[in-house]
């Protein structure tokens, strides 16, 4: 009876270790995004993210993870028309919206148990789902050439780097919640050989399940 008992205890111990190695997170959040450009003037835009992530704990502190997210990005173009006839200037805000399916890959370091903190670095490849440009009333009247108002073809692929910091609370052996802040900067131009790329900050909430 001695050896079967030892085998059973060892099996249970390995199961506990395994149960602490995998984490599934449902996450959502809000973001403040913009377009970095030296040619045009953009302002920040409020957006939304949602998705799911998987993390594998390499050891007590270190983990590798990947996410599948729906991300809204973009910025608000501030465009000013100067009239040569002496009439006042007219300024318009033109929202440029870019919606992506992204697959962030990250390396994370965590400290703490019931209350815990973490930081992450990673890369974020993404595919463009669609792009939306909303022209305000009166904006198109300033263009003689209608071709000037047709949005260009944007890059279907985006690649970004990011850093993240956050904290959380362990609700039980299986469940925990967290909040995080992430800064992300794209290295891909929105239009090939032209100026402009996405960047922004995201505040995210997550519900984690460990198994």
Alpha carbons 11 and 7: distance in angstroms, whole number = 6
Which residue's entry shows tokens 């052996």?
A: 173
* 81-122 pLDDT, tens digit each: 877 666 668 899 999 999 999 999 999 999 999 999 999 999
Q: What fold characterizes domain 22-210?
A: Porin (2.40.160)
**Chain center to CA of 86:** 45
- End-to-end Cα distance, the chain: 30
Which residue's entry shows tokens 């209350």?
A: 115
**Chain center to CA of 68:** 10
DSSP 145: S
Q: Domain spans of the chain?
A: 22-210
Sort residue 21 into left (φ over 0), alpha (ψ -120 to 50) or beta.
Answer: alpha
3-state secondary structure of 95: strand
**Inter-residue contact 4 to 191 (CB < 8 Å):** no
The pTM (predicted TM-score) of the whole model is 0.86
* 171-204 pLDDT, tens digit each: 999 999 999 999 999 999 998 878 899 999 999 9
* 46-82 pLDDT, tens digit each: 999 999 999 999 999 999 999 999 999 999 999 888 7
Alpha carbons 34 and 171: distance in angstroms, whole number = 36
Confidence band for 138, pLDDT divided at 50, 70 and 90: confident
């Amino acid at each position: 009876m001695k050896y079967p008992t030892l085998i059973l205890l060892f099996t249970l111990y390995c199961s506990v270790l395994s149960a602490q190695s995998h984490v599934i997170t449902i996450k959502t959040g809000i973001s403040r995004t913009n377009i970095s450009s030296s040619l045009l003037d953009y302002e920040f835009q409020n957006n939304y993210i949602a998705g799911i992530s998987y993390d594998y704990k390499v050891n007590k502190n270190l983990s590798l993870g990947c996410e599948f997210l729906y991300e809204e990005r973009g910025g608000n173009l501030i465009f000013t028309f100067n009239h040569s006839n002496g009439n006042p200037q007219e300024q318009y805000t033109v929202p440029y919206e870019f919606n992506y399916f992204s697959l962030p890959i990250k390396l994370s370091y965590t400290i703490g148990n019931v209350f815990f903190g973490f930081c992450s670095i990673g890369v974020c490849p993404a595919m463009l789902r669609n792009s939306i440009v909303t022209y305000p009333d009166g904006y198109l009247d300033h263009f003689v050439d209608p071709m000037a108002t047709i949005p260009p073809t944007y890059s279907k692929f985006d690649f970004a780097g990011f850093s993240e910091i956050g904290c959380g609370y362990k609700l039980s052996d299986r469940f925990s919640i967290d909040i995080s802040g992430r800064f992300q900067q794209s290295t891909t131009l929105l239009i090939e050989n032209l100026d402009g790329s996405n960047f922004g900050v995201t505040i995210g909430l997550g519900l984690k399940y460990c198994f």
